[in-house]
Structure 1
Amino acid sequence: MNQLDLQAKRSKKRLICIPPGLLLVLTICLILHMGYIRAPAPPLRLPVIYANANIDDVQRQLNELLREYKPFQRCKDSLLAADPRRSKIELKGDHVVNLTETVRLSVILYDGYGRPKTTGGDHLRARLYNNSVDASVPGQVLDHRNGTYTVTIEALWTGWAAVEVEVLFPREIIAAGLRIRTAWNFSDLRANFRNKNSSGASLCNPDFQVLERLYGKSAVCNFSYWNKTLPWFCGKPHVRHLSCKHWVSISRSWHNFTEGISKCEKELSERAYNTIPKKVLIKILPTRSAKSQVTVEQPHITCMDYNTTQLWYKSKPTGYFYKGNWILRHCKGLSGIDGKCLGDKTIYFWGDSTLLQWHNYLLSKLTFSCKIVQNDKHTWRRTTTCFCSKYNITLNWMPHNIPVSPFQVKNPIPFFSNTFGDTVSNVKKGSDVILIVNLYAHIQMYPLKYFAVHIVEIRKMIETIFEKVYNVRVFIKLPHTFREIRHKKWKIVQPSYIGIIYTDIMRNVFKGLYQKVIVLDNKDATIAIGVSRLHPAPKVVKAMINQLLSYICNEQK
Structure 2
Amino acid sequence: MSVQVMWSYPCGDRKGDGLPLPRPVPQLHMPSSDGLTDQTPKVNNPKVSPVSAINDPGFSADEWDRMLKLVHWAGPDRQITTANMSTSPNHSAFFINDLKGSYYVGEEIHVTIVAKDFTKTPKSYGGDLFQAKVYSDKLKASVFGEVLDHQNGTYSARFTLPWVGLASVAVRLIHSSEAVQALGRHRSTDSKRVFFHGYYVGNDPQGVRVEEKVECSIKWEGVVLSSKKDCCCEYQDAHVGLTWQCLKPQILPCSARVYHSMGGYRFNMTALEKVLFDRQHVNRWLKGDSRLIRVMASNTTIGVRESCKPGLPTPIPSGFYMNDVWTSFVCAARNFAKDDMTQCLKDKHIYMMGDSTTRQWFEYLILAVPTLKPMNLHSVYHVGPHMAVDVQNNIDLHFRSHGLPLRCVKAPVVSLHYMSNEIDGLAGGSHTVVVLNMWAHFTNYPLSYFAYRVSLVRRAVVELLRRAPETKVIIKSANTGIKDIFSSDWFSLQLDRILREGFRGVGVYILDVWQMTSCHYNSDYIHPAPVIIKNEIDILLSFICPK
TM-score after normalising by structure 1: 0.80
1:235/1:13 CA distance change after superposition, 3 Å: farther
Partner-residue secondary structure (3-state), 1:107: strand
Q: Please identify, of 161-170 and 27-36, the stretch whose mean Cα deviation from structure 2 is larger.
A: 27-36
Percent of residue pairs identical: 24
Within a 5 Å distance, the mapping from 1:124-523 to structure 2 comes to: 124-186=130-192, 188-196=195-203, 197-207=209-219, 213-216=227-230, 220-225=232-237, 228=240, 230-239=242-251, 242-256=252-266, 258-259=267-268, 261-272=269-280, 274-287=284-297, 289=299, 297-303=302-308, 306=309, 308-311=310-313, 314-337=314-337, 338-339=340-341, 340-366=343-369, 368-409=370-411, 411-413=412-414, 415-417=415-417, 419-427=418-426, 432-484=431-483, 491-513=484-506, 516-523=507-514
CA distance in 1, matches of 2:427, 2:451: 31
* Structure 2 gap segments, 5+ residues each: 1-48, 204-208
CA distance in 1, matches of 2:462, 2:299: 49
Partner-residue secondary structure (3-state), 2:353: strand
Greater percentage in helix: 1
Cα deviation per residue 1:194-231 (whole Å; 9 max; x = unaligned)? 21422323443433795685242xx6433222895843
2:428–2:471 Cα contact (<8 Å) kept? no
CA distance in 2, matches of 1:444, 1:238: 31
CA distance in 2, matches of 1:425, 1:29: 25
Q: Which residue matches 1:48? A: none
1:333/1:288 CA distance change after superposition, 3 Å: closer
1:157–1:284 Cα contact (<8 Å) kept? no
Partner-residue secondary structure (3-state), 1:26: helix
1:215/1:15 CA distance change after superposition, 3 Å: same
1:381 maps to amino acid: V
1:358 maps to amino acid: W
Q: Please identify, of 503-512 and 99-108, the stretch whose mean Cα deviation from structure 2 is larger.
A: 503-512
1:176–1:265 Cα contact (<8 Å) kept? yes
Question: CA offset at residue 510 of structure 1?
Answer: 2.3
CA distance in 2, matches of 1:104, 1:192: 55
Q: Which residue matches 1:37? A: 75
CA distance in 1, matches of 2:108, 2:157: 10
TM-score after normalising by structure 2: 0.81
1:228–1:401 Cα contact (<8 Å) kept? no
CA distance in 1, matches of 2:59, 2:429: 38
Aligned equivalent of 2:102, options 96, 104, 113: 96
CA distance in 1, matches of 2:246, 2:298: 69
CA distance in 1, matches of 2:304, 2:451: 35
2:105–2:298 Cα contact (<8 Å) kept? no
Cα deviation per residue 1:444-473 (whole Å; 9 max; x = unaligned)? 122222111211111122123223334311
Q: Please identify, of 114-123 and 328-337, the stretch whose mean Cα deviation from structure 2 is larger.
A: 328-337
1:226/1:402 CA distance change after superposition, 3 Å: farther
Partner-residue secondary structure (3-state), 1:500: helix
1:133 maps to amino acid: L
Pairwise CA RMSD:
2.7
Q: Please identify, of 499-508 and 340-349, the stretch whose mean Cα deviation from structure 2 is larger.
A: 499-508
* Structure 1 gap segments, 5+ residues each: 1-9, 41-72, 291-295, 485-490
Cα deviation per residue 1:477-508 (whole Å; 9 max; x = unaligned)? 11122344xxxxxx422221112211221233
1:286/1:430 CA distance change after superposition, 3 Å: closer
1:538 maps to amino acid: P
2:129–2:174 Cα contact (<8 Å) kept? yes
2:315–2:330 Cα contact (<8 Å) kept? no
Q: Which residue matches 1:536? A: 528
Q: How many residues align?
A: 484
